[in-house]
Amino acid sequence: MTLGETMFDKIWRQHVVCELADGVHLLHVDRHVIQETTCAQSFAGLDKAGRRTRDPDLTFAVVDHIVSTAPGRTGETFEGGRELVHLMRKNCPAHDIELIDVDHPWQGIVHIIAPELGIALPGATLVCGDSHTATSGGVGAYAWGIGTSEVQHVLATQTIVQRRPKAMRVSFEGRLGPSVHPKDLILYLIGQVGIAAGRGYVVEYAGSAIRAMPIEGRQTICNMSIELGARAGFVAPDDTTYQYLNGRPFSPQGRLWDEALAAWRSLPSDPDATFDREVTIDCHKIRPQITWGTTPQDVIAVDERIPDPAAIADGDRRAAITRSLSYLGLEPGKPIEGTPIDVAFIGSCTNARLSDLAAAAAVARNRKVAPGVRALVVPGSAQVKRAAEAAGLDKIFLEAGFEWREAGCSMCVAINDDQVGPGQRCIATSNRNFEGRQGPQSRTHLASPASVAAAAVAGSIADVRKLAH
């Protein structure tokens, strides 16, 4: 037995097919998940070269990014999305890949359905042409986002060429304060270490707060690994993980489940394993977070003031802050609480699971969306939607004046027709606040589902702790 291995060491070792050059390895891909906006050119490339999909049984397909989320949508979705959806209906059967189409009861955001269906498994390698693939790290998968050329390579060979990243461990320790959610933890971390800190690393999230956290919250944390700069982030599996995965459609069953479980129990990092970088976060210190700028590291607690560039010594940083505040139409030094909003968006692979909708509904219950605010709830999957409806959450949202929509990526990536208008201010549970991310000239503030619901009813950025029931 090898001592002192990290979980990442073990996963890497189990997946090396061969070494191609010094430090360059061919890794086996256990689960390849494809979505409509990043694989059309991959299939075209395969067809042109006369190549096939090598392992359709290890390939899973869904449409999520460009589909309409309008209530009552049909298979024809929205006009601008039709081309890529139709290509999925042509390419998947031609390559013997089963497609989860718009009207399928399992349809949803790729990173939400991968764990939900048991496609993502502990210690498995999982890739997808999408940067938020690390979401599946919440169940202990080594999952990372790839480009369209890499998608083509994985389809053709079921392997990927990789240079080994370094390993970072982030330990979240202690209890969470009132109205503080997993989203607040990951935003706080990004604010502390910056959006490039994880570049070249794979991150293992650990610590007492992670151990106490349900799987859905762990997915939220892993989801934003890319906003830290890391392609992959995961949590070691434990009994919470096994309980979550047991009985899901693609999870192993019967004797295979027992064999898998025995192997998964040996995955966690050895006690004497060492990491290239260690970060510890004291969760006591974390209050509900909100971004004020145009990168996810531009984040403060909701009761803090908007930064004043005049107080910043570094010239480049001062210029960046000035530009961000001007883009967002914010005044330096003012409290961020009370900033009026136009749109409130609850959705995305970061925060559209059942627990996210429940946290938002707990705030929205018996309240009304403020006049002039458009508030949307976009469940992360059709299964989440049905579960929320069974729990009566849809009624709470509809009575409060939120839209209750169909599953998809929606206003996070804004490649469909769910867009924030020019100059409009949106508070969102998604993961990116870049200039123009939610539509040309859109302004975005990132926060937790509870904080977004609080802002929706207040009509402005609000401290959810004051509204907690």
By CB under 8 A, what part of segment 361-390 binds another protein? none
Q: Which two tokens stand for residue 336?
A: 């961020």
| Contact by Cβ (8 Å): 146, 32 | no
- Choose which of 57, 276, 278, 399 interacts with another protein (CB under 8 A): 57
Binding of another protein by 437 (CB under 8 A): yes
Helix (H, G, I), strand (E, B) or coil at 258: helix
Comparing CB distances to another protein, the nearer of 81 and 288 is: 81
What is the 3 state secondary structure string of 357-419?
A: HHHHHHHHCCCCCCCCCEEEECCCEHHHHHHHHHCCHHHHHHHHCCEECCCCCHHHCCCCCCC
* Residue 305 identity: R
CB of 2 to another protein, least distance (A): 16
Q: In the complex with another protein, which residue's Cβ is closer, 104 or 365?
A: 104
Indicate whether 94 belongs to the interface with another protein (CB under 8 A).
no
Q: Give CA–CA dist 273/468, Å, rounded.
A: 41
Residue range at the interface with another protein (CB under 8 A); choices 178-186, 194-202, 356-364, 454-462? 194-202
Residue 355 to residue 380: CA distance in whole angstroms = 11
| Residue in 1, 3, 22, 178 binding another protein, rule: CB under 8 A | 22
- Cα–Cα distance between 69 and 397 in angstroms, integer? 16
Instruction: State yes or no: residue 9 binds another protein (CB under 8 A).
Output: no
User: Which amino acid does the sequence have at 91?
Assistant: N
Q: Does 14 bind another protein (CB under 8 A)?
A: yes
Q: Residues 265 to 284: which contact another protein by CB under 8 A?
A: none
Q: How far apart are CA 371 and CA 340, in angstroms?
A: 11
DSSP 468: -
- Name 404's bridge partners: 377
Q: Which of 1, 2, 3, 23 binds another protein (CB under 8 A)?
A: 23
Minimum CB distance to another protein, residue 239 (Å): 18
17 part of the interface to another protein, by CB under 8 A: yes
Applying CB under 8 A, which part among 30-38, 269-277, 345-353, 367-375 lies near another protein?
30-38
Site for another protein in 297-336 (CB under 8 A): 316, 320, 323
CB count within 10 Å of CB 456 equals 32
For β-strands 59-62 and 16-21, DSSP reports them as unpaired
Nearer to another protein (CB atom), residue 313 or residue 469: 313
In the three-class reduction of DSSP (H, G, I as helix; E, B as strand; rest coil), residue 192 is classed as: helix
73, 89, 104, 465: which one binds another protein (CB under 8 A): 104
| Cα 207 from Cα 120, distance rounded (Å) | 22
Cβ atoms of residues 406 and 68 within 8 Å? yes
Among 10, 95, 367, 432, binds another protein (CB under 8 A): 432
Residue 430 DSSP label: S
Counting contacts by CB under 8 A, is residue 24 touching another protein?
yes
Residues 195-214 interacting with another protein (rule: CB under 8 A): 195-196, 199-200
Among 4, 20, 285, 310, binds another protein (CB under 8 A): 20
358 binds another protein (CB under 8 A): no
Other CB atoms within a 10 A radius of the CB of residue 265 amount to 13
| Residue 75 is a binding residue for another protein (CB under 8 A) | no
Identify which of residues 229 and 268 has a Cβ nearer to another protein in the complex.
Answer: 229
